């Protein structure tokens, strides 16, 4: 394990914010991860775990040991007639794992194609898209306890998954570091194509129901995402900046009278309203403020066009929050983590 000092984090975050880490290292195994945790204890410096850097906004230099998780590996650990269990290193690129699953005809993650980030971050965020969430294919994960340095197992119940939430974002925040995730994928297909524009895109691709495959679903999702979301290699961004809010049926019906075109999706806890619609309706879509702004095709995405600063992007997000709350009496919560 090599420890570096005063390293720029620009290559390691998709917003491309140029801030420095006091210490920086990459770890390729559980042993190296434990050694990094021990180093932070000896130096009495905070530990900051970094995956793909696709869900963070760095607003200042990071006075910590920044640990880039590069633990890789994809292995089948068990299978039966219907399912296959796949253990994946936390440092594997999420989309590369999805492509591997599709190549091997392992169904369940095709709707989650092209989501940025690493496998280790997927259960932390309970990532989801197009009607599917990680918790539906999750079996268990392995995580190093920062205090005891022991490896512990977390099953689905123990992870306490919620909407873009898990126990690792609240109760156990900063107490564990995920090293491996095991997914329970299916040998039989159960297509989920009713959400968003998947059906429409499949039709444009000339795919009929008889021709439907998990690769076709993945290709449709990739096409949709590429048409809406900017490539972070070209324009700095972290994908969806805000979570979609859920409001009461009463509030939704009241808003429906004022805004007849407001979309809503029934949930157990109320009506989920697309944050992108709220932001676009408020006139923020496509607005630029020097080197930063709101993306012209997807208002849910805040962007860094060049030398933007994390603090100014954070300030922009707060202005949008205040405006949405004033217009609709709805609080938008960020999906991105501020550093």
Active site residues: 164, 240, 335
Interatomic CA distance for residues 336 and 333, integer angstroms: 9
Specify the DSSP class assigned to residue 126. Answer: T
Interacting residues of 245 by C-beta distance below 8 A, sequence separation 6+: 272, 273, 275, 278, 330, 331, 332, 333
Q: Count Cβ atoms below 10 Å from residue 56 Cβ, excluding itself.
A: 24
Q: Integer distance in angstroms from the first to the last C-alpha of the chain?
A: 25
Q: Which string of b and e fits 203-217 if b means at least 16 CB within 10 Å?
A: eeeebeeeeeebebb
Q: Are strands 138-145 and 176-186 parallel, antiparallel or unpaired?
A: antiparallel
Interatomic CA distance for residues 119 and 33, integer angstroms: 16
DSSP codes, 77-112: EEE-SSEEEEEEETTSBHHHHHHHHHHTT-BS-GGG
Question: What residues does 4 pair with on adjacent strands?
Answer: 24
Interatomic CA distance for residues 141 and 159, integer angstroms: 9
Interatomic CA distance for residues 158 and 69, integer angstroms: 23
């Amino acid at each position: 394990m090599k420890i570096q000092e005063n390293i720029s984090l620009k290559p390691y975050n998709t917003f491309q914010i140029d801030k420095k880490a006091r210490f920086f290292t990459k770890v390729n195994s559980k042993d190296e991860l434990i050694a990094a945790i021990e180093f932070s204890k000896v130096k009495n410096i905070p530990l900051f775990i970094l995956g793909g850097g696709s869900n963070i906004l760095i607003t200042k230099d990071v006075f910590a040991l920044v640990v880039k998780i590069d633990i890789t590996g994809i292995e089948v650990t068990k299978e039966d007639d219907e399912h296959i269990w796949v253990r994946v290193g936390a440092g594997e690129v999420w989309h590369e794992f999805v492509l591997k699953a599709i190549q091997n005809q392992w169904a369940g993650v095709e709707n989650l194609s092209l989501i940025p980030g690493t496998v280790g971050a997927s259960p932390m965020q309970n990532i989801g898209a197009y009607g599917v969430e990680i918790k539906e294919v999750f079996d268990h994960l392995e995580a190093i306890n920062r205090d005891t340095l022991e490896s512990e197992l977390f099953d689905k119940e123990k992870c306490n998954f919620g909407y873009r939430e898990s126990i690792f974002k609240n109760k156990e925040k900063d107490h564990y570091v995920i090293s491996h995730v095991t997914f329970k994928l299916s040998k039989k297909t159960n297509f989920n194509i009713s959400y968003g524009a998947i059906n429409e895109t499949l039709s444009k691709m000339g795919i009929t129901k008889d021709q439907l495959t998990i690769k076709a679903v993945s290709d449709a999702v990739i096409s949709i995402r590429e048409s809406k979301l900017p490539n972070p290699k070209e324009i700095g961004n972290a994908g969806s900046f805000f979570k979609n809010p859920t409001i009461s049926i009463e509030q939704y019906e009241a808003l429906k009278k004022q805004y007849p075109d407001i979309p809503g999706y029934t949930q157990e806890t109320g009506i989920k309203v697309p944050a992108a619609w709220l932001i676009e309706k408020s006139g923020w879509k496509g607005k630029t403020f020097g080197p930063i702004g709101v993306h012209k095709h997807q208002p849910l995405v805040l962007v860094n066009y060049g030398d933007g600063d994390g603090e100014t992007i954070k300030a922009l997000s707060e202005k949008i929050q205040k405006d949405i709350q004033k217009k609709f009496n709805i609080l938008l919560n960020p999906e991105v983590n501020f550093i």
